Every structure is written in C-alpha cells, then in structure tokens.
Chains A and B, each alone.
Chain A
Amino acid sequence: MDMMPYAFITAWLLPLAGFVLLVFRGRKIGEPRSGYLAAGLMITAAAISLVGATRWVFFGHPASVEVSTAWLRLGTQAIHFGVRIDSLTIVMFTMVTVVASCIFIYSIGYMHGDPRFPRFFTYLSLFAFSMLGLVLSDSLLGLFIFWELVGLCSYFLIGFWYEKPAAANAAKKAFIVNRVGDCLFLVGIAIMLGATGAVTLTGVFSEVRQGAFAGHETLLTLAGICLFFGAVGKSAQFPLHVWLPDAMEGPTPVSALIHAATMVAAGVYLVGRVFPILTPTALLFIAYIGGITLIGSALIAVVMTDIKRVLAYSTISQLGYMILALGVGGWVAGLFHLITHACFKALLFLGSGSVIHGCHGEQDIRKMGRLHDKMPITSWTFLVATAAIAGVPFFSGFYSKDAILASALGFSWTHRTHGLLFILPALAAGLTAFYMLRLYLLTFRTTARDEHVYAHAHESPRLMWVPLAVLAVLSIGIGWGRMPEHQAGDEAHAAGSRGWGLVSLIAEAQPAWTVSGDAGTHGSEAASHVASAASEASHAADAAHGFHLPATIVATCAMLLGVFMAWLVYKLLLNKFYFDELYRVTFVAGVLKLAAFGQWFDRVILDGLADGSARWVARTAFFSGLTLDNRGVDGLVNGVARTALAGGNLARLGQTGRVRNYLLALATGGALVVILLVWMS
C-alpha cells in the first residue's frame, strides 16, 4: 500500500507535464499531435488509477492513506500540503481520469481544424491536473487552491472562442459568480482555521470532535454554510446557478468534462468531504437549497430549445439531487449519483456535441429531427444516457436516484414537516424523464423539420463515437452493485454482509463520525426540533434500507409517467410542425406555465439580480472611482490646494505693484507704531 499514494500522485502530475509541454511548445507540436500527447498522458493516468483502484479494491486496503509534506507556516500554524486517499478519492480519481480520457479523445475529433487546437489541450490538461489535485487534496486549503484553479480553467475554456462576445461574457460571469461562492468558502476556511488551528480535513474533524466549537454551535453552522456556499457557486446551485447555462458558450467537450462530469461535481464532493462537520441546521439548509434547485431547473429544462441548454439545466437539476441527498444525510446516495451522473451526463453532452458537429453547429432542437437515420451510433448512445438519467431500471441512474429518493423518503418519514424534501425530487424524477425523452425524440425521432440541417447531417468520425460507446457502457453498468448491510463505520458488523460494486466502495468512505450524529446522541446542543430531527437523518442511509422499495416504486412510477407523457406528446405531435403551440393546449399546459414561470424567474429575477448587483457594483465603482475619488477625495485635496492658492491670491491683493499702495501700507504701519509708542509712554 505504500506505493499507492505515489502512483496516484504520478497520475496526477501527468496532465501537468502535458500542460507545461503544451504551454511552451504547443504551437510547435501542432494540431493533431498536441491532442494525442495530452490524450495519451491522460489515458496513462487513467490506466494508473485503474490499476490502483483494482489493487485497492481487491487486495485489501486501510481506511485511508495520507502523505504530506511541509509546505508553509501560517503565522504559527504549520500547513502541510498533502494527499489523502480513501475509497471516495479512488472512485473520484478514477472517474475523472476515465471520463477525461474519453473526452480528450473525443476532443481531438471535435476540435479538428480549430486554429487554437493546441491551446485547447493546454487548458484541458491544466484542468485535469487541477481537478485531480482537488480530489486528492487532504486539506481545506488545498481544496480551495485547486478549486480556484479549476475555476480558472473553466474561465479559459468557456471563453475559448473569445472572439464571440457572448463567450467572453459567459466566461467572466462564470468566474465572478464562482468567486462569490469562493469568498464565502474562504470565510469558512478562516472560521475553521481560527477555531481549530488546522486546515487538514482529519485535523479539523478531530478538533471539532474534541469540542473546538463547544458552545459555539452557531459558528459551526455558519462555517458549514459558508463552506457549502463554495459548493453553491461551483455546483451551480440556487441562487448562484446562473452562470452554468451561459457557460454552454464553451466548446461542447468542455461542457461535458467541466460543466457536467467533473468540475460542477466538485461542489458535491466538497460537501461530501466536509460532511462530518455540518450541523443539522446546516444540513437542512443544504437540503432545501438542493430541493429548490432540482425542481426549478428541471422545470426550466422542459421549455428549453437549445440542446445544450436543456442539458445544462438538467445538470443543475441533477446536482440539486446530489446536494439534497447529502442534506438529508444520504451521503452514499449523493456521491453515488455524482459518479453515475458524471458518466451519463458526459455521454449526453458528448452526444449533443456529436449532433452539433454533425449538424454543422446547429443547436436548436426545433430544427433537428430524424437524426437517428443519419447518426445511429450517437442516437443509440444518447438513448442509453437518456434512459440512465431518466432512471429506467437496470441503468445506472436508476440505482443512484433510487438511493437518493430512499434517503429523502426516510428523512421525510421521520420528519413529516419536511415532507417537501421527498415530494420535490419525486416530482422532478418524472420531469426528468419527460424532458429528456422530449429532447431525445425531438432530436433523433419525429420528422426532419429543417431539410437543410437534415440533409447535411452526418455521423461523427470514429475518434468521436468510440468515447461515446465507452461512456454508454459505463452509463449502464456503473451503478450495479449492492450496499453493504452493516452500518457505516460499525466495525463489529464489518464481516457481516459485504456489498459489492461502486456503491459499496463509496460506502466504505462514509464518515463514521459526524457532528449532526453526535449532536443527537450526546445532546450537547439544545435538543431543538431541527437538531434532533436531522441527527437521525444522518443515519438516513441506514434508515433508507427500509425505504428502498417504496422509493423505487415512486421513482419508477414518476419515471413511467414522464415517459408516457413524452410518448403521448410524441405520438400526438408526430408529423406536426407547430408542436410547441399544440404542446400548450394539451395536458402539459400547467407544467409549461410553471416552467415558463421558472424560466422567467431564472432569467429575470435571478439573472437580473446577478446583473443588477453587477450593475450596482459598477455604478458604485463609477461613483467611487470617478466622482468620489476625483471630486471628493482628490477634490478635498485640491480644495486644500485651492484654499492655499486663494490665500495666496488674497495676499497678492496687497501686492499690487503700485508704489502708492505700498506707501499707504507703510504709512499705516508707521501710524500704528507711533500710536503704540504714545500709548505705551
């Protein structure tokens, strides 16, 4: 096991090597070769991590391995830079490398002919390095550093086609909105460092466990929420999700890699990592944010007509699922969904990229249709991903979504006041099935609505569809597995019934101790309703066992309903051109109204809020920068100067240069002296 961390570190540094090579020699290396170089390094990294993961799973392993080196001292606190490897790291690392490999290969085909081809792989390599660093990092500070770096790569890649003002704007927006979250993340780190004197996760946990926050539970809650706000920004949760739809201005592989599979999931990963210190109140807050996000964006996705935007809102919705799962205590379920979602959403994006590529840049699904004939492989893989995300049994999404619903149901069952936390995801499950099937049907089935697009559509080259196939296989099979029966962290029952598959591997990493669990059992916090309620929820994963069946039934029903509706629409509107109008008069009118409202709210209120605050800042900036600084502060200073000048001028009045005035002054002075003398004598 000793070599384990170093193997992963090697795999981690490979993309960095690619980045360094490409940044200095990119243009020399040229178009295809730079892509092959980056992809080759990435595949090597994936291979290393797969070997490592295999070894980890099949040859026994400790709970976690940590390697760190002294990095710096912050004041008096020594800060180490280290990596921490546990089952979750292994899973995430492998997922990132594998998905990234697929997307790197795909990009070679997709970006073919772009004048900045090497640059693209430079950024991708840097992104892969940063993302893997984020996964490996053992401290909050390390997480933050790579957190920012992935944000930077996201900035570069969204703005890759910077000639388009929309792309440049979207990139800027993404970065700045993320910075809002990061700012609070930083505050969270500051709280943690201030209270515990540690930034490593293990250090923080043990300090918190020993009562670093005793008597300051509110502060701990605040810290948790601050840290969570980092995730809100990065994982595009309400209300900071506004950047993600705009981020679709970037090239499609970027959307797949960064804005679907990996970077946006980093927020979920972060919440999962800091889960032990989240107080019940913080968890409840998280759960509700997730709930609002998932239903809102699912509604909006229904009315989107841009293929990538549908997927973007669907991504936000799915991330909401994960956040909600973590919020209700379904730690395993949330992270499980993260992995499955990464596979099928990457596949969906790559599929959409393939469609866009095949349709020569067309993104409007109203102009597509019957593309199944032209690009069968894309169509089939897309269908697989659609099934996965919709939650069709035996596809990966089914298992993970089922786990989430079970956790949510378990939570709601024990806390009836929070029933909404189950109803929302259940509803959204139906919506998901509906809008995804709608997307699939409109794109690949029905009729060809735009002859031009249809006529010129073609299947993508092999370089692009092979990754699709690989991801399709993953989208089906990755979710298979079984949870171990024993309670998490309960070593006594470890020998009981071993689970298998991905879910069991994730379950191994589940934190054994949590603040919320602790709060309930020790009663150190006042046994408020929320506290005790959520404390039990932290064991929702265990409780969920009993709720799996009902959750499955509900989810499947919702899914079937969604599918049925989509099929109905499809049947009704087959061969009809004005499908949107007919849409409205049929049964989905209400849903659509709601969706339209959601979209309006999103576009007008939230985006308006973001833009408005930007405008407000700009106005303040212009006021302070131009008016206040020039007229106020500088004016004050110049005022002093002007006063001095005026005083000088006043004095100059006497200085007329006229002999007579001087003489008069002289006489005045003389008179004064004489009178003074007379007076004194």
Chain B
Amino acid sequence: MLEKAIFLLFAVPTVVAGVAILLSKNIVRMAFWLIAMLIAVGGLYFLMGAYFLGVIQIMVYVGGVAVLLVFGVMLTSRQLAPKLRPGPMETVWLAAVSMALLLGLVLSVAQVRWVQGPIASPNSPAEIGHSVMGDFLGPFELASVLLLVAMLGAAYLARPKVPVQSPEGSKETTI
C-alpha cells in the first residue's frame, strides 16, 4: 500500500510535468518542469531499489543535462517575440495520433500476462561496476568513445565562426 502511495507520489508529477510542458508557453518554465520530471523518475528508481541509478539520474540529468538546457534557453532566448506554435490542424492530428498511440499501447500492455520473476534485491554501486566492466565492457568502451566524440563535436560545432585571414592574405575563408 505504501509502495503504491510512493509510486503515485512520483508518477503523478512526471505526468503532470509532461502535460504542463505541452500546455506551457514559457520556455523557462518548461525547463523547470523537465527538472521536476527527472527528479521524480529518479525517485521511482529509488523506489525500485536502483539507488545508484537514482543518484546518477539526479546528478547527471538534473545537474548536467537540465542545466545545459537552461543555458541553451538563455543563449537563444534573445528573440521570444514570435510564439512558435503549430497549426491547428496539426494540433488536432497530433492529439488524435497521441490518443490512438496511448490507447493502443495501454491496451497492448494490458493484454500482457505478466510473469512474476524473482525480485532483484537492492544492489550496490560495486555490483553495477562489476557489471559494467564485465558483461557490458564493449558497450561501455563505445559509450566512452561516444562521449569523447560528442564532447569534441560539440566543442567544434558551438565554436564561433571567426573569419580567418589566410596566409596568402588575399582570400577570406571560414573554417
């Protein structure tokens, strides 16, 4: 019963956050709703005994990604004048598709006859570390490379374009 209550405690805010973002027009508020959702999901991880994951969720997402997003918002919010809204037809269509998808997925989920497996016990970060360095070594290495590439790529892409005087001196080129 308690579990259900705690689940609802976290689940309701995630959904509310989503709906709020959908309806909201203020981009800064949307960012904060996102943070709320991320924290709630982190709470759910705790509820499921995935403590490490919950911590990571809050640290990386809320501390990193969400802040990054807020920075993005700040950086690009010089012109807020035009309200960027989809057309009415598009909205209706989107609503219909969303409802259909929701209905379909929920129905299909409802049809599943769940087989209860053993409940995994709460685990320690050490076990996660073993798992990552053991079974998931390949993906781990790939992920690290990906992160490196993403960092370099982001640095390259976000770099301001400065006209560079070529050594010959005559031609103006941009790199």
Given contacts A664-B94, A668-B97, is CB(A674)–CB(B86) below 8 Å?
A: no
CB-CB contacts below 8 Å: A211-246 with B: none
Inter-subunit contact B101/A674 (CB<8 Å): yes
- Contacts of B108 on A, CB cut-off 8 Å? 674, 677-678, 681
Number of A-B contacts (CB under 8 A): 33
Does B19 make an interface contact (CB < 8 A)? no
- Contacts of B170 on A, CB cut-off 8 Å? none
Given contacts A664-B90, A664-B93, is CB(A675)–CB(B111) below 8 Å?
A: no
Shortest B68–chain A CB gap in Å is: 20
CB-CB contacts below 8 Å: B126-144 with A: none
Shortest B130–chain A CB gap in Å is: 37
For the complex, what is the distance from the CA of A678 to the CA of B112, rounded to whole Å? 11
Question: Which chain B residue has the least Cβ–Cβ distance from A666?
Answer: B97
Does A549 make an interface contact (CB < 8 A)? no
Question: Which chain B residue has the least Cβ–Cβ distance from A679?
Answer: B104
Inter-subunit contact A674/B111 (CB<8 Å): no
Q: Which residue of the partner chain, among A660, A671, A678, A681, contacts B97 with CB atoms under 8 Å?
A: A671
- Contacts of B111 on A, CB cut-off 8 Å? 678, 681
- Contacts of B103 on A, CB cut-off 8 Å? 675
Inter-subunit contact B90/A671 (CB<8 Å): no
Does B124 make an interface contact (CB < 8 A)? no
Question: Which chain B residue has the least Cβ–Cβ distance from A676?
Answer: B104
Shortest B84–chain A CB gap in Å is: 11
Shortest B7–chain A CB gap in Å is: 25
Q: Mark A657-681, 1 if CB is under 8 A from B, else 0.
A: 0001000100110111011011001
For the complex, what is the distance from the CA of A681 to the CA of B111, rounded to whole Å? 9
Does B5 make an interface contact (CB < 8 A)? no
Shortest B74–chain A CB gap in Å is: 23
Inter-subunit contact A670/B94 (CB<8 Å): no
Query: Which of B86, B90, B101 lies at the interface centre, i.e. has the most chain A CB atoms within 10 A of its CB?
Result: B101
Shortest A658–chain B CB gap in Å is: 10
For the complex, what is the distance from the CA of A63 to the CA of B103, rounded to whole Å? 110
Shortest A383–chain B CB gap in Å is: 102
CB-CB contacts below 8 Å: A52-80 with B: none
Inter-subunit contact B100/A660 (CB<8 Å): no
- Contacts of A660 on B, CB cut-off 8 Å? 86
Question: Which chain A residue has the least Cβ–Cβ distance from B105?
Answer: A674
Question: Which chain A residue has the least Cβ–Cβ distance from B100?
Answer: A671
Does B24 make an interface contact (CB < 8 A)? no
Does B107 make an interface contact (CB < 8 A)? yes
- Contacts of A681 on B, CB cut-off 8 Å? 108, 111
Given contacts A675-B104, A678-B104, is CB(A667)–CB(B90) below 8 Å?
A: no
For the complex, what is the distance from the CA of A668 to the CA of B96, rounded to whole Å? 9
Does B165 make an interface contact (CB < 8 A)? no
Given contacts A660-B86, A664-B90, A664-B94, is CB(A678)–CB(B107) below 8 Å?
A: yes
Does B98 make an interface contact (CB < 8 A)? yes
Inter-subunit contact A670/B86 (CB<8 Å): no
Query: Which of B93, B104, B105 lies at the interface centre, i.e. has the most chain A CB atoms within 10 A of its CB?
Result: B104
Inter-subunit contact A675/B90 (CB<8 Å): no
For the complex, what is the distance from the CA of A674 to the CA of B111, rounded to whole Å? 13
Given contacts A660-B86, A678-B111, A681-B111, is CB(A671)–CB(B93) below 8 Å?
A: no
- Contacts of B86 on A, CB cut-off 8 Å? 660
- Contacts of B90 on A, CB cut-off 8 Å? 664
- Contacts of A664 on B, CB cut-off 8 Å? 90, 93-94, 97
Shortest B22–chain A CB gap in Å is: 14
Question: Which chain A residue has the least Cβ–Cβ distance from B101?
Answer: A671
Question: Which chain A residue has the least Cβ–Cβ distance from B98?
Answer: A667
Question: Which chain A residue has the least Cβ–Cβ distance from B110?
Answer: A678
For the complex, what is the distance from the CA of A670 to the CA of B97, rounded to whole Å? 9
- Contacts of B93 on A, CB cut-off 8 Å? 664, 668
Shortest A68–chain B CB gap in Å is: 88
* The 3 A-B residue pairs with the shortest CB-CB distance in the complex, in nearest-first order: A674-B104, A671-B101, A671-B100
A-B contact pairs, 19 of them (CB 8 A): A660-B86, A664-B90, A664-B97, A667-B94, A668-B93, A668-B97, A671-B97, A671-B100, A672-B100, A674-B100, A674-B101, A674-B105, A674-B108, A675-B100, A675-B104, A678-B107, A678-B108, A678-B111, A681-B108
Chain B residues within 8 Å of A, Cβ to Cβ: 86, 90, 93-94, 97-98, 100-101, 103-105, 107-108, 111
Q: A671-B97, A671-B100, A674-B104 are in contact. List 18 more A-B contacts (CB 8 A).
A: A664-B90, A667-B94, A667-B97, A670-B101, A671-B101, A671-B104, A672-B100, A674-B100, A674-B101, A674-B105, A674-B108, A675-B100, A675-B104, A677-B108, A678-B107, A678-B108, A681-B108, A681-B111
